[in-house]
Structure 1
Amino acid sequence: MTDRTLADRVEALEMRLTYQDETIETLNQTVTAQWKQIDALSRQVAELSERVREAEAARPAPANEPPPHY
């Protein structure tokens, strides 16, 4: 193997490593943003569930009245 071929291979590997590092960083940023959004949505769902429970607890009990068609 010649020195030039070895140098070309090393350069090609360095380029691939650089692109892989950039891709990994981009993916990391994407995953981090998605987790933040998931966390915010989870908190929102929990809050809305609590509001529904409170609304159901606060509503008056149904009266024992016959349906309107009787």
Structure 2
Amino acid sequence: MNGDTPSKDSSMTEDATRDRLDALESRLAYQEDWLDTLDHALAAQDRRVAQLERTNDMLRERLRNLRQSVDHMSDDDTPTPSDEIPPHY
């Protein structure tokens, strides 16, 4: 053998290195896909949280208004059962 001819060990090392590189590239591609999936899920959750916060703010405002209305009612304004509309089924 001369110095230009790769030895059998060198060829096996290159094959092993190539196999490891292929495995790493495969794992990286899988992780990139998983990261993209998580990013989409996080964005959807962020939109949902924002929607729930808006709904919560609206309901809190309605509750505050109802409390103020009840607080400002006089005894004459107190609703009686006959004033209430029955539910429709």
Instruction: Identify the TM-score tier after normalising by the shorter chain.
Output: 0.7 to 0.9
Q: Does 1:18 align with 2:29?
A: yes
Query: Which is higher, the Rg of structure 1 or of structure 2?
Result: 2
Specify which of 5, 12, 17 is matched with residue 6 of structure 1. 17
Question: For this pair of structures, how many residues does the alignment match?
Answer: 63
Distance verdict in 2 for CA 1:10–1:57, change over 3 Å: same
Which structure 1 segments of 5+ residues have no match? Answer: 64-70
Partner of 1:40: 51
Deviations 1:3-41 (A, max 9, x none): 100000000000000000000000010011001000000
Q: Indicate the SS of the match to 1:2.
A: helix
| Percent of aligned pairs with the same amino acid | 33
Partner of 1:57: 68
Specify which of 28, 46, 49 is matched with residue 39 of structure 2. 28
Stretches of 4+ moved more than 6 A in 1? none
Shift, 1:2, TM fit: 1.1
Which structure 2 segments of 5+ residues have no match? Answer: 1-11, 77-89
Q: Let me know the Cα RMSD of the aligned residues.
A: 1.5
Inter-partner Cα distance in structure 2 for 1:23 and 1:62: 63
Q: TM-score normalized by structure 2?
A: 0.66
